[in-house]
Chain A
């Protein structure tokens, strides 16, 4: 991708960076208490409130929300209003059972806004085809309070959930772009262009 990256858990490293990616594997409460222990909560908030490109992936997306119901009820970073909820594999209008976790490839679709413009063009999803396959591994999903922040939605079982959202400089996705083949790599490519300021030139 041509990006110099560093895996860090220290304040200075994060503050000095041009952009931040918050990935995530693990459980919500563990991750939050680790962020609190490392004194990174306010740092991440500052980054998101600045104009630095920020990407949250999977659990990194969940952590941005105000609250989660993963193994109890926990407060998140609260940068985006909304909750994190578990898939209920047993209910639904069709009464059909579906497997949780949701593991595998699934399609992401655009959310049309009132003016029918494609919001993807101004985001890291620029150039990706509507209905592209991305790789998902999760049991929980985000539900932003303000549906306008949603960039893409995905269907699983008989549920439609938010598979990515954009809020200012903050992009977050439920799928794993780094494991989604050429289409996923395009997201990092766009992210790199945003960091270097070349995104709008295309």
Chain B
């Protein structure tokens, strides 16, 4: 039986953790390492850091965050956003990342997957596919965090990425992302059936049952969640530090009005629900042990 992973995703803009809806309208939620440490201590199986504006501005502010995080967090860290070259990949791996997530750069140059997989190992290379369903019911891959159409069929692209040496595929249905309406089950299952490498479903969780659905019906090997955990963290711990630096803090000022579809929860609750439905995940002894120690 496969052991499913729950992977909090931390979207980062400059020094802040942000969250959008349909990959847009980014709101500042706090400082990324506070969230990262909390998720590590509370049962996260891995973490994903995404520099969500990097590919737009050609910058990457994640290296410092990763350096800081990898010293105190001992689960796999994936970094993505704005990584263009072998040197970019090398830099974030050196900073302490275990894997990189690539989208825009490899759509522009698919051979980069092959070169990177040969140099750093397939297991290091995660391909992120962000897609929107077209009128003809096919899914089209988008780049630049959901801003640019590519004309490329998402399912065919997943297969090609696997052939070129990708180790994992992260699938985001842009229409679902940030909405709390549930994952893009159809898109996830089409890709999960078509490739033999692990598939990470991303974007749309509003309840613990959505996570269960995308595993049972979508065939996901891992599930990436953001809002559903972040809003819980913010509700418990507030905004903490000062956010004058940059970003839209309206969300934090107003509370979570307009996000009623998202029932915030914890990793523990997500995993409890999975275990209850007979799905294997890293849950039992270690979490309990941690709570006692905590």
Bound Cα distance A184, B286 (Å):
12
Partner of A139, one of B3, B40, B122: B122
A13 at interface, CB cutoff 8 A: no
A99 in contact with B118 (CB, 8 Å):
no
Bound Cα distance A183, B293 (Å):
13
- Decide: A26 near B119, CB < 8 A? Known: A99-B221, A100-B196, A105-B3: yes
B45 in contact with A103 (CB, 8 Å):
no
A53 at interface, CB cutoff 8 A: no
Binding site for A on B (CB under 8 A): 2-5, 40, 45, 74-76, 98, 118-124, 167-168, 196-198, 221-222, 281-282, 285-286, 289-290
Which one, A130-138, A143-151, A192-200, is touching chain B?
A: A130-138
Consensus secondary structure, chain B interface: mixed
Partner of A27, one of B40, B118, B221, B282: B118
- Measured between beta carbons, the chain A residues less than 8 angstroms from B282 are 105, 133
A25 in contact with B123 (CB, 8 Å):
yes
Q: Which of A59-111 contact B (CB under 8 A)?
A: 59, 89, 97-101, 103-106
B121 in contact with A27 (CB, 8 Å):
yes
Give A176-192 as 1s and 0s: 1 = Cβ < 8 Å from B's Cβ atoms: 10111111110000000
- Measured between beta carbons, the chain B residues less than 8 angstroms from A181 are 40, 74-75, 286
- Decide: A25 near B286, CB < 8 A? Known: A103-B198, A184-B74: no
Chain A residues within 8 Å of chain B by Cβ, number = 32
B221 in contact with A179 (CB, 8 Å):
no
Partner of A98, one of B2, B5, B281: B2
- Measured between beta carbons, the chain A residues less than 8 angstroms from B124 are 25
B121 in contact with A89 (CB, 8 Å):
no
Apart from A99-B2, A103-B222, A104-B222, list 13 A-B contacts with CB within 8 A: A25-B123, A104-B5, A104-B221, A129-B285, A133-B3, A135-B76, A137-B76, A137-B167, A139-B123, A176-B98, A179-B75, A179-B76, A183-B286
